[in-house]
Structure formats: C-alpha cells, structure tokens
Amino acid sequence: MALLLAKKPHGYVEILSRLHRLVKLELERRAARVESAMALPADLQADVTNRIRKIYGAGADITFSRNPALLGGLRIQVGSDLYDGSVRTRLKKLEEGF
C-alpha cells in the first residue's frame, strides 16, 4: 500500500478503494457475534468459541452479548452465515405454520 501511495500509478485511488473493500469484507467474514438470552457461563463460551474457530479458523473474532428478546437458545452470526436456534425464532416459525 505504501508503494501505491509513493508511486501513485494510474488508477491507484481505485486500487486502494478495492483493497479497502476486500480488507473490510475479510474482517466481517471473521467476525462472529453470539447472542443469548442470558449470559453464558465461561465453559459454554469456551465450547462455542472452539466450535466457531474449528469451522471458521483460529482468526475468528468472537463477541458474546445478551439479548433477552431471544427468550432462550443461541443466535450466532459469522459474516453472512446465520445460525438461529433461539426460542423466539422457533415460536415465530410455529406461529407462521398456523
């Protein structure tokens, strides 16, 4: 990147823009957000972390948060992948079935 800025070849702004987009997409792909209705105990957080890293690689950046609206279960989003095992979603699907 420093070389691009130093030499400033034709179209370097577009190159930097695309590079920035690729870096942003890579960071988003590695970001994992785990939501649960209640705070997860340390051992369960460690288990979820290990499972996510087994699938998405050791570089996955995992955050845990509490979302009481889920009622129970977990909702995990890693990049564009969503795993929703929350009670709220199950109840919503059941309601749609009637």
CA distances from residue 36 to 57, 76, 87, 88 in whole angstroms, order as listed: 22, 9, 10, 11
Query: Which pLDDT band, with edges at 50, 70 and 90, does 22 fall under?
Result: confident
Between 88 and 18, the higher pLDDT residue: 88
For the entire predicted model, the pTM comes to 0.70
User: What is the percentage of the chain residues whose pLDDT exceeds 70?
Assistant: 92
CATH 3.30.910 applies to domain 30-98: yes
Mean predicted confidence (pLDDT) in 7-13: 75
Between 86 and 21, the higher pLDDT residue: 86
**Given this model, what pLDDT does residue 65 score?**
97
Burial 40-64 (b: 16+ CB within 10 A, else e): beeeeeeebeeebeeebeeebebeb
Domain boundaries defined on the chain: 30-98
Task: Please give the mean pLDDT across all residues of the chain.
Answer: 87
**Residue 25 clears pLDDT 80, i.e. is over it:** no
**Given this model, what pLDDT does residue 23 score?**
72
